[in-house]
Amino acid sequence: MRGGATFLGGALGGTAVTLSGTAALGAPEHTPEHTPGRAPAADQAGRATVAFRGPRQPGVDTTPQGFATFLALDLAGGTDREALVRLMRIWTDDAERLMSGRPGLTDTEPELAAVPARLTVTVGYGSAVFTAAALAHRAPSWLRPLPSFGVDRLEENWSGGDLLLQVCADDPVTVSHAVRVLVRQARTFARPRWLQRGFRHSPGTVPPGTTWRNPMGQVDGTGNIDPTAEPHLVWHEDDGSGWLAGGTSVVVRRIAMDLDGWDEVDRTGRENTIGRRLSDGAPLTGSDEHDEPDLEATGPNGFGVIDAAAHVRRSRTDDPGQRFLRRPYGYDDGPGDSGLVFVTYQADVDRQFLPVQRRLDELDLLNEWTTPIGSAVFAVPPGAGPDEYLGQALLEG
Amino acid sequence: MRGGATFLGGALGGTAVTLSGTAALGAPEHTPEHTPGRAPAADQAGRATVAFRGPRQPGVDTTPQGFATFLALDLAGGTDREALVRLMRIWTDDAERLMSGRPGLTDTEPELAAVPARLTVTVGYGSAVFTAAALAHRAPSWLRPLPSFGVDRLEENWSGGDLLLQVCADDPVTVSHAVRVLVRQARTFARPRWLQRGFRHSPGTVPPGTTWRNPMGQVDGTGNIDPTAEPHLVWHEDDGSGWLAGGTSVVVRRIAMDLDGWDEVDRTGRENTIGRRLSDGAPLTGSDEHDEPDLEATGPNGFGVIDAAAHVRRSRTDDPGQRFLRRPYGYDDGPGDSGLVFVTYQADVDRQFLPVQRRLDELDLLNEWTTPIGSAVFAVPPGAGPDEYLGQALLEG
């Protein structure tokens, strides 16, 4: 992935970052160093905004912000297509307001909305949305729980859900406030089912372009795809039903990490598990983080330099279609309760995500220290154009 | 308080902030705007460090960082004075290393230590430390659970504890890593009892000097004391037993906020509850946040402009000794589970904190929406001088 959640790293793809307020300096992604002699605003990271309106929803190809909340909701009984339209109109309006640093329409703490900090709100649909709207025939074929894997120890309270709210920003106050506004607005339509909070780095704490390290200390995300160069891997193209063009899918899996067990493994064992160096993330066959791993290279003893079961080998394939965009966050809910909120986006879960997950389930040294305890899949409808609401192409199609 | 957790706000009192690494720009608290023509490092907020060694522990008068974890531990059976000395030597060494951006001594993820981000580690002692060390006669008289108040609904799992680790930084990855290192190092001596995580703003997201807003949206901390101007309110002076000179006490209370109930209150009702304007925190009798509230002012109907039961009135006193340093953080553990990790430092809990808490318990409009659900008190030993370990004056005195 393109670095930790630093402001100066800017945004990728369709979601432009701008600075709100009168002292805006222009689009910072093009000026990684400010104009000499002109001081950047001390609250620059707070004033940055991501555009809400557009053919695609924000928060997918947006450079990961420092903080994320993933909230699954279950629909209340009686929520039909008309009610869903009302909810989507409300969320569309509030997401647009909040992402620009303005209070929600009925915001009871409007002052807490003043720091947008690259806030993004992204909405996903579980299969129950299609059933409730009497549109089950228009649900994507891949929209169902993932098959169970041998490594899974799924817990009900981290799995499933009818709706997803993904709320990300570079300030945790902003995330907290936005989640509260959106949940309150939804209360007659849906109730929270589970909530997962993740973090990367605060803005301005690591150099732009630094690849994130996960709670096991590994450089995580080096081999990620570039959604600008290969948009077809992320964004749905017209599949005949039409409404999902510009949309995607999101898989949210909670991966518990056995950090105490990992402590028992020395650095050689850790590097062998992944196939990359701990110091800089370079493959064991290379010298730079971004060197391509040489899966054929053998050492003096004739064995592969990268272990046959190393994570970097098992997660790779010769099929360029079996790739997807990863956007994970770390979680730490106290001693013994840490891991990843592992989040991926792909045009087609079955074609892209499943084959890789099957391969890792079969064999991956990393499995000894990681356990999936939650799993959910959602369809991410396209973005809202001018005067549109989220999901309009589906709900009025 | 002196603003949210922005880097450029700098540090107060005895804990100097410096930048680590070769590109250090000097002490930023004296240069709120960088030298023109010289770009600040993009990871400036990550490289800033707070000094560990000194007559007082850091993390008390340090300008609040964006993220805090408060972890209470219970001593394992058989932990005696000798064991406590060993633990204090280990924590002293690791705290100094981590606060300077270096790995802990047996750090298994050394790369995660590279971003100090103004990390502070602060250690507190519950009364069990004194008992275990056979030094019960040297415990401060105020070191005991607070008396129970009518408003309290205390839960065992948020209360008490034999040891406190307070870990604060401007980056959540840094806090998470430091807590993990320190807990692992302590595992033969003490086990985690409760952990509370709080947040303010990320660095660079609000203007320097901005007073924090709590999860109810109130400007919170305007009338705080300045520990540089009135050090005797925070730092213990020699009380005869001697070892606590340069130390303080910390009260950690978990205050649940009924945000759904608060939603039902209009802005006039909210402002009346506190006695301050929501927009900018100015007292209802003034025009600027830092105006002194006029508790005598009456409105056209003859009643006080500031309600007789308003929080700002009830928390004040004519006794200048009944004041203390507040350093609260917000918490948000999901819908319906938000509030304050209310943290205060004072030289003497009984003389400074208790009278105020008693007054608020008797009458405070805010009590309708806030409920203390956790409470703990710790003695904070003085800082570690060169070649000293934390608590040395007590444990070897």
pLDDT at B254 over 90: yes
Model pLDDT for residues B6-63, shown as the tens digit of each residue: 222 333 333 455 554 433 333 333 333 444 455 678 899 999 999 999 999 999 999 9
Model pLDDT for residues B358-385, shown as the tens digit of each residue: 999 999 999 999 999 999 999 999 999 9
Helix, coil or strand: residue B128: helix
Per-residue b/e over A269-302, b at no fewer than 16 CB within 10 Å?
A: ebbbbbbbbbeebbbbbbeebeeebebeeeeeee
Residues 350-389 of B with CB under 8 A from A: none
DSSP code of residue B177:
H
**A41 contacts in chain B (CB < 8 Å):** 207
**What pLDDT is attached to residue B317?**
87
* Cβ separation A8–B66 shorter than 8 A: no
Per-residue b/e over B364-380, b at no fewer than 16 CB within 10 Å?
A: bbbbebbbbbbbbbbbb
Residue B397: Cβ within 10 Å count: 11
**A32 contacts in chain B (CB < 8 Å):** 42
Residue ranges per structural domain of chain B: 5-23+49-391
- Give the span between the Cα atoms of B159 and B377, in whole angstroms: 9
Q: Which residue type occupies B244?
A: L
- Give the span between the Cα atoms of B191 and B180, in whole angstroms: 12
- Cβ partners under 8 Å of residue A262, min gap 6: A216, A270, A369, B108
Model pLDDT for residues A327-384, shown as the tens digit of each residue: 999 999 999 999 999 999 999 999 999 999 999 999 999 999 999 999 999 999 999 9
Model pLDDT for residues B312-358, shown as the tens digit of each residue: 999 998 899 999 999 999 999 999 999 999 999 999 999 999 999 99
DSSP string, A62-90: SPPPSEEEEEEEEEPTT--HHHHHHHHHH
Nearest Cα residue in chain A from B32: A42
Q: How many helices (H) and strands (E) does chain A have?
A: 9, 11
Nearest Cα residue in chain B from A47: B205
Residue B264: Cβ within 10 Å count: 10
Q: Is the ipTM of this complex over 0.95?
A: no
CA distance A336 to chain B (A): 9
Among residues A349, A130, A360, A137, which one has the least CA distance to residue A249?
Answer: A349
Among residues B371, B102, B38, which one has the least CA distance to residue A35?
Answer: B38
**What pLDDT is attached to residue A19?**
54
Q: Structure tokens of A3? A: 């670095």
Model pLDDT for residues B73-106, shown as the tens digit of each residue: 999 999 999 999 999 999 999 999 999 999 999 9
Count of A-B CB contacts under 8 Å: 174
Among residues A295, A296, A297, A351, which one has the least CA distance to residue A321?
Answer: A351
**B201 contacts in chain A (CB < 8 Å):** 46, 115, 171-173
Mean pLDDT of A73-81: 97
Residues in chain B: 397
Q: Is B226 a catalytic residue?
A: no
